[in-house]
Homo-oligomer: A and B are copies of this chain.
Amino acid sequence: MRYELYYWPTIQGRGEFVRLALEQGGADYLDVARTSRGMAAMNRMLREATGSRPPFAPPFLKFGKVVVSQTANILLSLGPRLGLAPKDAASRHFVNGVQLTIADLVAEAHDTHHPVAVSLYYARQKKEAKRRAKEFREQRMPKYLGYFERIVAGNKGVVAGRAISYADLSLFQVVEGLRYAFPRTMKALERSHRRLVALHDRVAELPRIAAYLASERRLPFNEDGIFRRYPELDAEARRS
């Protein structure tokens, strides 16, 4: 099966959660918008080619005649095909619930730099961003990371079952993204979330993931993506 991923070509963003699954699953895939004329193809898919079943926004994935959109939905669909989902229905629903919680965290991480309007530049909402980022660092990050830690600690190091699932790959990406955007906050939080960090490290060392991370297919984090390094939004350095 050949997969076509449609996502913005210059950022990791939400598409990265799908890329990680495709890579670890050894899938034959094309990252369409990163090819020549790929952006035009993506825009055509959004506007016309999908009839009464359009995606709302990238990422979306085409395989065979089907187009699946929304990150968690793509992973729900891909997981079993790529050997990245547990076998029983209850575990699959649990993994999907965790993935949706990751999606909520990702949306909140985005809103730390865009609390007022997606359509306005960061510079136009910097003051509000500082207030929102403070709430995110002090209330929301500990709540989310504590939740993931509890799950992973309670299940011998992974989200569900005994093998790596797509939600484990996504938790790797959450740690990566938060380290990039909030390095000082993460340095403090990681001490009390060791099982989550251990899962991150284990994913990073999976041969296919390690090869992907070392390749040009892995885009660097940057200030157009979801996780952005704006030092003024991270915690103050601790005074000794």
Contact = CB atoms under 8 A, between A and B. Distances in A.
A132 interface: yes
Interface stretch (A34-42, A114-122, A218-226, A227-235): A114-122
A211 to B, nearest CB: 30
Q: Is the interface of A mostly helix, strand, loop or mixed?
A: helix
Interface stretch (A19-27, A48-56, A167-175, A196-204): A48-56
Interface string A89-112: 010011011001101100100010
A94 B53 contact: yes
Nearest to A129: B116
Contact of A68 (B66, B73, B97, B139): B97
Given A54-B147, A119-B139, A155-B52, A70 B132 contact: no
Interface in A136-179: 139-140, 144, 147, 150-151, 153-155, 160
A128 interface: yes
Interface in A188-211: none
A76 to B, nearest CB: 7
A5 interface: no
A128 B151 contact: no
User: Nearest 7 CB-CB pairs, A to B?
Assistant: A52-B154, A117-B135, A70-B100, A56-B101, A70-B97, A116-B131, A69-B97
20 contacts: A52-B151, A52-B154, A53-B94, A53-B151, A54-B147, A54-B151, A66-B90, A66-B93, A68-B94, A72-B72, A73-B93, A73-B100, A76-B96, A100-B100, A104-B107, A111-B111, A115-B132, A116-B132, A118-B139, A119-B139
